[in-house]
Amino acid sequence: MNIAQATPLGDDPTLFESLFELIANDIVDKGYSICPFALPENLTSLLLQHITQLPEDNFKRAGIGRAKDHIINDFIRTDEICWITGNSEAGGAWINWAGLLQNYLNKRLFLGLFSFESHFSHYAKGDFYKKHKDAFKGEDNRVLSVVVYLNPNWSAEDGGELIIYPQQAAQSSIIDNGKITVTPNFGTIVVFLSEEFPHEVLPALRDRYAIAGWFRLNTSIANNIDPPR
Three-state SS annotation for 63-124: CECCHHHCECCCCCECCEEEECCCCCHHHHHHHHHHHHHHHHHHHHHCCCCCEEEEEEEEEC
**What's the average model confidence in pLDDT over 69-86?**
81
Provide the pLDDT for residue 169: 47
Provide the pLDDT for residue 173: 38
Q: Which helix (H) or strand (E) segment is 199 a member of? A: strand 199-201
What is the dotted CATH code of the domain comprising 36-63+75-216?
2.60.120.620
Using a 10 angstrom Cβ sphere, with 0-12 exposed, 13-18 middle and 19 or more buried, the burial of residue 177 is exposed
Q: What distance in Å separates the CA atoms of residue 53 and residue 134, rounded to the nearest whole number?
A: 28
Residue range 159-186, pLDDT digits in tens: 999 999 997 644 433 345 589 999 999 9
Q: Name the percent of the chain lying above pLDDT 70.
A: 77
What's the chain's average pLDDT?
A: 85
Residue-range domain boundaries for the chain: 36-63+75-216
Residue range 96-106, pLDDT digits in tens: 999 999 999 99
Answer yes or no: is pLDDT of 212 > 90.
Answer: yes
Please tell me the least confidently modeled range out of 53-57, 66-70, 76-80, 210-214. 66-70
Provide the pLDDT for residue 141: 84
Answer yes or no: is pLDDT of 58 > 70.
Answer: yes
Phi, psi angle pair for 121, to nearest 5°: -125, 140
Provide the pLDDT for residue 9: 56
**227 — pLDDT class (breaks 50, 70, 90):** low
Query: Distances in Å between the alpha carbon of 150 and those of 87, 158, 216?
Result: 20, 14, 23
Provide the pLDDT for residue 69: 55
Q: What distance in Å separates the CA atoms of residue 51 and residue 81, rounded to the nearest whole number?
A: 10
Answer yes or no: is pLDDT of 8 > 50.
Answer: no
Phi, psi angle pair for 81, to nearest 5°: -135, 160
Answer yes or no: is pLDDT of 35 > 90.
Answer: yes
Q: Tell me, what amino acid is at 191?
A: V
Q: 24 — alpha (psi -120 to 50), left (phi > 0) or beta?
A: alpha
Provide the pLDDT for residue 118: 97
Q: Whats the size of the chain, residue-wise?
A: 229
Residue range 111-161, pLDDT digits in tens: 999 999 999 999 999 999 999 999 866 665 899 999 999 999 999 999 999
